[in-house]
Amino acid sequence: MSDITASRTELASLAQELDAADELSGLRSRFVLDDAVYLDGNSLGALPASVPGRLTDVVHREWGELRIRSWDESGWWTAPERIGDRIAPLVGAAPGQIVVGDSTSVNVFKAVVAAVRMADEDSGSAADRRDEILVDATTFPTDGYMAESAARMTGRTLRPVTPAEVPAALSDRTAAVLLNHVDYRSGRLHDLPALTAAVHEAGAYAVWDLCHSAGALPVGLDEHGVDLAIGCTYKYLNGGPGSPAYLYVRRDLQPRFDSPLPGWTSHAAPFAMRPAYEAAAGAPRGRVGTPDILSMLALEAALDVWYGGGDGGSAGAGVTTGAVTIDAVRAKSLALTDFFLRCVAAYVPEGRVESITPLAHAERGSQIALRCDDAGDVMKRLIHRGVIGDFRHPDVLRFGFTPLYVTFADAERAARVLGETLGEAG
């Protein structure tokens, strides 16, 4: 037997052993999956098996039969806060601080403008006004677009800096800082506790984008004193395409949260239809317009997976019945990505790929990004062979590892197919 064959046999056998010992392995049956290796959950999570039945009930009974009564009788009106409280433990927040609704982009705008307005209150006078917003220079484009618009609206200067440059860039001019917890392109995990502390020491407000960390690793919003945070729910939270985003406002800041989008559902008395706006107390003041009920309740059903439900009525033996801890998810995420990198090193011809995701666990999210010549074409061929990742311009292959349903056998197969594909191309 050749060394290559021995290595493949060894790694395939090890993948089976790791899967057999995986305490989260039973969760895979709670998702609608096929024979493909799905490593694009960092863009769109797989469909939880419980969602179709829940939506059928919402459409046929709650909407079709109860109709408008469902705003009260089916809990539609309170869904944004109720579902926010279900997300809260997954990002380290106590209840009453998260409201679900709108898109990530809209919530970024709300959070940044509100942060600047709180900084204005702190300054007390125009002469002492903090006139600068720092934004992650490596951020997903929409965050930058929204931060730039927020800066124009509030009369601030927007200054892009990398997260590593933030401590040195902070000054008494800084009003707010918008950062990504995990870089969407490279998978680098930034130091939320240290950067939040540095922002606070400078007297500014920290706004964090959790799109690529919520549901994949511990965040600790309350523990680390984060001021405001936003995130999507269609990645590691598996809420579905276009599922609503969420907004976190730390409890002690909620009375000061001044939204630039004061919609009727965030009014203290929304059904009084008063011409003058008066903000609701607590998390509801982050709301804007009428909630998107169908996608919101699909998200609520998807979150059942985390709380011992969500088997769609077909869960088999071995399915975890208790709540899933984010610490267990993080441990598996790191094990999966370590194993994938080991398999890549064994299978991929030398010099064909380069990982741009940090090796250090403290600096790694739940994805592996590989720089590769002709990455776009390579990813197309991988997808044709049943390994679903994605491509980021100009030369990055991204593989997202969702621990709730990705297996070690998936990781081994993906690396093996990648090696075969690049070997053929070479």
Strands of the sheet with 98-100, listed across from one edge: 98-100, 246-249, 228-231, 205-209, 174-180, 132-136, 157-161
3 state SS for 152-163: HHHCCEEEEECH
- In tens digits, what is the pLDDT along the chain, a chain of 426 residues? 345 666 889 999 999 999 999 999 999 999 999 999 999 999 999 999 999 999 999 999 999 999 999 999 999 999 999 999 999 999 999 999 999 999 999 999 999 999 999 999 999 887 789 999 999 999 999 999 999 999 999 999 999 999 999 999 999 999 999 999 999 999 999 999 999 999 999 999 999 999 999 999 999 999 999 999 999 999 999 999 999 999 999 999 999 999 999 999 999 999 999 999 999 999 999 999 999 999 999 999 999 999 987 665 433 323 334 689 999 999 999 999 999 999 999 999 999 999 999 999 999 999 999 999 999 999 999 999 999 999 999 999 999 999 999 999 999 999 999 999 999 855
Residue 102: left if φ>0, alpha if ψ -120 to 50, beta else—which one?
A: left
167 preceded by a cis bond (ω within 30 of 0)? no
Q: What is the DSSP string of 263-320?
A: -GGGBSSGGG--SS--BPSSGGGG--S---HHHHHHHHHHGGGGGT---TT---TT--
Compute the chain's Rg from CA coordinates. 23
- pLDDT at res. 319: 33
CA distance 209 to 139: 9
Nearest to 265 by CA among 247, 280, 281: 280
- pLDDT at res. 311: 65
CA distance 14 to 5: 14
- Non-local CB neighbours of 401 within 8 Å, separated by 6+ positions: 39, 41, 333, 336, 337, 340, 366, 367, 368, 411
Burial of 162 (0-12, 13-18, 19+ CB in 10 A): middle
**How many other CB atoms sit within 10 Å of the CB of residue 154?**
20
- pLDDT at res. 3: 59
CA distance 7 to 387: 21
Q: What is the amino acid identity at position 305?
A: V
Nearest to 222 by CA among 105, 345, 96: 96
> Look-up: residue for tokens 């409890």?
251
3-class DSSP assignment, residue 201:
helix
Enter the DSSP assignment of 209: E
CA distance 4 to 269: 69
Catalytic residues: 140, 209, 234-235, 398
Q: What is the DSSP string of 354-375?
A: EE-S-SSGGGB-SEEEEEETTH
Cβ 197 vs Cβ 228: under 8 Å: no
- pLDDT at res. 6: 64
Cβ 90 vs Cβ 81: under 8 Å: no
Q: How far apart are the first and last CA of the chain?
A: 24
Cβ 276 vs Cβ 282: under 8 Å: no
CA distance 83 to 205: 26
> Look-up: residue for tokens 């860039």?
169
Cβ 238 vs Cβ 46: under 8 Å: yes
